[in-house]
C-alpha cells in the first residue's frame, strides 16, 4: 500500500528536493499533491516521469493525505498545522515553528529514530514531526557517534553556511550578484541584508538580547533536545558564506575524558550517514564541491586540540538541502510510517 503525499512549498529550494528524494528512495507514493502559494498555482513539476500541477495551498488541501512534507516557512506551518493534523495527515515540518514544543519530536533518524513514531496520532502523538535546523542536523551526524562513546562536555562551533538555507531566492541572489560583480555592475541586495558576492557575514537570523543570533541558539538548544542530554553545552558563531547549497562546520569538541583521534576516526568511519574523506599527504579535506548533492555528511581533519585536554577538532560538511533538510525529513517519514 502506498501513501497520498502532500508537499507544501513544492516550488521552493527544499520542495523540489523533497520530490527528488522521494523518487530516489522509492518512497511508496500513490498520489501526490503539490502545494505552494497562489503565485505558482498552475505551474508544473515532474515526479517519476509524470507531470504534476501545483495548486494553491488551502485548508482543504490535506483531505485524504497520509503525509505532508512542509517547507514554506514557519508562518505557513503554524497556519496550516491544525487543518493538516485534523485531516489525519502526518506533518513533517522543516520550519522552526514547532521544534522546541514539548510533545513534538525533533528527529534526526541516525540519532533518535524511535521518536519519529511518537508523532503518530494513533500513538497519542501531536501528529507533527519537526525537522531540525540544517546546521544542527549536520553537526549531530558527527557529534552523536562520538558522544555515545565518550560523553561530550562542550562544543565550540564555527559554521560556514550556504545560500540555500535562506531559500531559492537567496541562491539566485548569490548567482546574480556574483555575475553583476564580475561585470562591474552595481547590485542592490534584495533577499539577504548585505552584499553576498565575494563577501561573508555573521548569520542574518534575528539577533537576540543575549548577543547570539537565533541560528546560533537553535544549534545549542535543538542539539540538547535531540541528544536528550542537557549536559552537552554548545556555543557557536554562524556565518553565511558565498556557497550555493553546502554547509561546513569547524567543531571544537571537549569530552568528559580522553577520546583518541584514532578511536574517533574509527567511530565516524562506521557511523551511519557519515563518510570520512581526507588525504593528509595532499592536505585535502571535505569541501562543498565534494558534498553538494550527496546524502552523507562528510568529516575529516580530526586532530587533538593542543591547548586543552580531552578535546578534538573536527571538520564537518553536509548538503544543506539534502541531509540538512529534505533527506532528513523523508527519513523521518520513513521511520514513522515504514519503520
Cell numbers at 280, concatenated: 593528509
- Report, in Å, the least distance between residue 135 CB and ligand A2P: 16
- Report, in Å, the least distance between residue 117 CB and ligand A2P: 28
158 is a site residue for ligand A2P (CB under 6 A): no
Single out the residue of 105, 125, 165, 167 in contact with ligand A2P (rule: CB under 6 A).
167
- Report, in Å, the least distance between residue 112 CB and ligand A2P: 26
- Cβ distance 179 to 173 under 8 Å? no
162 is a site residue for ligand A2P (CB under 6 A): no
95 is a site residue for ligand A2P (CB under 6 A): no
105 is a site residue for ligand A2P (CB under 6 A): no
CA 102 remoteness from chain centre: 20
Q: Is there a catalytic annotation at residue 213?
A: no
- Cβ distance 273 to 323 under 8 Å? yes
40 is a site residue for ligand A2P (CB under 6 A): yes
Name the β-bridge partners of 157.
236, 251
Cα atoms found within 13 Å of the Cα of residue 286, Cβ hemisphere only? 25
Q: How many residues bind ligand A2P (CB under 6 A)?
A: 18
Q: Which residue is nearest to ligand A2P (CB)?
A: 12
168 is a site residue for ligand A2P (CB under 6 A): yes
Residue 253 burial (CB count, 10 A) = 27
- Strand (E) or helix (H) holding 140: helix 134-149
Single out the residue of 3, 5, 6, 15 in contact with ligand A2P (rule: CB under 6 A).
15
Give 206's DSSP letter: P
Please name the residues in contact with 270: beta carbons below 8 A apart, sequence gap of 6 or more. 145
DSSP 111-165: T-THHHHTT-GGGT--SEEEPPPHHHHHHHHHHHHHHHHS-EEEEEEEEEE-GGG
Q: Is there a catalytic annotation at residue 247?
A: yes
Nearer to ligand A2P by Cβ, of 69 and 299: the residue is 69
Applying CB under 6 A, the residues found at the interface with ligand A2P are 9-15, 36-37, 39-40, 57, 72-73, 76, 167-169
**Active site positions, annotated:** 134, 247
Amino acid at each position: 500500500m502506498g501513501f497520498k503525499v502532500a508537499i507544501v512549498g513544492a516550488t521552493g529550494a527544499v520542495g523540489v528536493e523533497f520530490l527528488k528524494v522521494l523518487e530516489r528512495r522509492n518512497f511508496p507514493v500513490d498520489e501526490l499533491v503539490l502545494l505552494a502559494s497562489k503565485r505558482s498555482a498552475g505551474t508544473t513539476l515532474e515526479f517519476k516521469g509524470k507531470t504534476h500541477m501545483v495548486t494553491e495551498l488551502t485548508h482543504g488541501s490535506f483531505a485524504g493525505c497520509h503525509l505532508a512534507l512542509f517547507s514554506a516557512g514557519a508562518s505557513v506551518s503554524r497556519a496550516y498545522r491544525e487543518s493538516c493534523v485534523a485531516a489525519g495527515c502526518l506533518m513533517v515540518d522543516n520550519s522552526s515553528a514547532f521544534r522546541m514544543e514539548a510533545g513534538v519530536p525533533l528527529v534526526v533518524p541516525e540519532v533518535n529514530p524511535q521518536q519519529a513514531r511518537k508523532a503518530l496520532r494513533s500513538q497519542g502523538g501531536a501528529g507533527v514531526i519537526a525537522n531540525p535546523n540544517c546546521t544542527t542536523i549536520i553537526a549531530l551526524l558527527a557529534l552523536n557517534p562520538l558522544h555515545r562513546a565518550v560523553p561530550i562536555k562542550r562544543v565550540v562551533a564555527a559554521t560556514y553556511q550556504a545560500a540555500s538555507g535562506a531559500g531559492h531566492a537567496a541562491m539566485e541572489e548569490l548567482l546574480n550578484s556574483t555575475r553583476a560583480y564580475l561585470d562591474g555592475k552595481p547590485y542592490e541586495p534584495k533577499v539577504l541584508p548585505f552584499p553576498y558576492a565575494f563577501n561573508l557575514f555573521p548569520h542574518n537570523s534575528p539577533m537576540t538580547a543575549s548577543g547570539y543570533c537565533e541560528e546560533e541558539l537553535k544549534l545549542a538548544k535543538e542539539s540538547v533536545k535531540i541528544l536528550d542530554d542537557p549536559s552537552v553545552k554548545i556555543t557557536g558563531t554562524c556565518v553565511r558564506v558565498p556557497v550555493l547549497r553546502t554547509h561546513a562546520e569547524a567543531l571544537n569538541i571537549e569530552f568528559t575524558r580522553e577520546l583518541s583521534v584514532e578511536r574517533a576516526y574509527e567511530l565516524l568511519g562506521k557511523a551511519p550517514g557519515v563518510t570520512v574523506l581526507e588525504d593528509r599527504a595532499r592536505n585535502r579535506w571535505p569541501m562543498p564541491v565534494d558534498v553538494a548533492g550527496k546524502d552523507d555528511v562528510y568529516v575529516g581533519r580530526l586532530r587533538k586540540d593542543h591547548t586543552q585536554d580531552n578535546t578534538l577538532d573536527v571538520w564537518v560538511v553536509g548538503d544543506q538541502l539534502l541531509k540538512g533538510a529534505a533527506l532528513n525529513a523523508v527519513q523521518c517519514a520513513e521511520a514513522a510510517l515504514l519503520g
